[in-house]
Structure 1
């Protein structure tokens, strides 16, 4: 892979993150603080924490 391709994809990723942040999809998770998980606008936690919590609630019942 050439350096051109690396720089191109880095730019694409940065623009995607900027766009997602502007749309409200990349706010930090209230549980772990990770800002890099896409999530719904309604959710305050990232998909990883949501999955962990659902596992815990299954074990609790």
Structure 2
């Protein structure tokens, strides 16, 4: 899943934006087959702050 750059993100510095950890968890869930890509994309586009909960991942 391609990620949009986060404001203030520093390359190779790990997550330094709250949204980064959500995107990482969604990436893992999609790659492990727990969530369909389209569902993850829709959830984060709708509201990234509730994306994990809405997909039952938190």
User: TM-score, normalized by length of structure 1?
Assistant: 0.34
Bigger fraction of residues in helix: 1
State the structure with more CA Rg: 1
Greater relative contact order: 1 or 2 (C-alpha under 8 angstroms, separation 6 or more)?
2
